[in-house]
A and B are shown apart, each in its own frame.
Chain A
């Protein structure tokens, strides 16, 4: 399994042609208390960069983009009742959706964990 990060603070774990998408610990700490998450419906086709999910903190709403193209396999149903999972476990149980990748080569341009750590350190 490999983990990639976007400059917009999404992460994607890839096993075979299935990716699991969430937002980074840095992103959740910037957003603050998360009170609502809207995840995409199963079967929805997303192109890389499309609006895929909405995350709302007490103060603001943010879009989460599809880090890669594909078809949504499932959204994380646990976030409907417990949106705070995104604060508590952003890079594990607080995942947003799983996606069947249509073009795994899109991952090549993304950052690995080391590169992302350097990226946020420079922000």
Chain B
């Protein structure tokens, strides 16, 4: 037997992979290490299915230290950043977190990211696979008054699942006060932590930034809690797929715009749309008004066989009219699901699409995303 692919774990040719701060920690816990985004990362411990279901029921600890953590500061930062991303940066209050996109001049997506206003600047988390490209882009485009600090000595952990708050609040009292997309500074045994209530699974949970030298001790303390198990990249991928969270380099790239990607909420600021001064604004606003050439949709695949990234969406004559950008077996649905880009006429919920993978036809039904409802803990409206 032989693998068709290794499921999104990108093996670059002859590239020396970096080691995570928790590399030895993962190996000691039976993590199976694979190359991903230039790092050796744990794809699984007990098994993807069990890990996935554990996160949906309890709490899982993910090491996402491969991601780029940046700190931007300096005079004129808000306006300078608004020239590169479509978010309303100026309105973001201290400790509030926002999702946005680094855009190319033609409106294509260079990366997706999260940013938070700190007292003294903006903290940004970008994708590991493109973080050096992002830094170069920011250096090239931000004015000299703005300083970019790559926090290369910081680890990033994510604790995700309905019991994450119980487990984390035992170690770090006060985190239960945070709501979705807010953060704050905390300490654990005199170690400084930046914690936000956010994640990449669709569940309630937290992302925790701390000095890499303390990451193993904190990971030990978290996994000593009965609710918490370490979770690998494999389950991270199936969890985010069920939760309608696109993965850069697969569902998003320089060929896709925010509207094509169905990330209209990232173009949600009326001021930014009126000013229309973010990269690619003309094309993006035109697509927002009149529809994009292709749109990202969710598919539930008929039968049991997964249809994966690279499969074609075909018309009755067999001609390729769209592409599957992510696909796999969804443990919580007990069915194969996928994300695909299709013409808007075929993007209506309930449309049955024909897919072609390795000379075999499959059917997929366009389904509302997320496939599994989000369970974020949001601010109470008063």
Contact = CB atoms under 8 A, between A and B. Distances in A.
- Does A pair with B? yes
Interface of A: 8-10, 23, 27, 32-33, 35-36, 38, 54-65, 80, 83
21 contacts: A9-B1, A10-B1, A23-B1, A32-B44, A32-B47, A32-B49, A35-B304, A36-B304, A36-B306, A38-B305, A57-B48, A58-B48, A58-B52, A58-B234, A58-B329, A59-B6, A59-B48, A61-B3, A61-B4, A63-B1, A63-B4
Given A36-B304, A36-B305, A38-B305, A61 B1 contact: no
A71 B329 CA distance: 32
A55 B1 contact: yes
A61 B306 contact: yes
Given A23-B1, A58-B48, 15 more contacts: A8-B1, A8-B2, A32-B47, A32-B49, A35-B329, A36-B304, A36-B305, A56-B306, A58-B234, A58-B329, A59-B43, A59-B237, A61-B308, A61-B358, A62-B2
B238 A58 contact: yes
B329 A56 contact: yes
Contacts of B358: 61
Contacts, number: 74
Contacts of A23: 1
Query: Majority SS of interface residues in chain A?
Result: strand
B5 interface: yes
B328 interface: yes
B8 A59 contact: yes
Given A59-B7, A59-B8, A35 B306 contact: yes
B184 interface: no
B1 A56 contact: no
5 interchain residue pairs of minimum CB distance: A59-B7, A33-B49, A60-B7, A35-B329, A58-B48
A36 B336 CA distance: 10
A63 B306 contact: no
Contacts of B7: 57-60
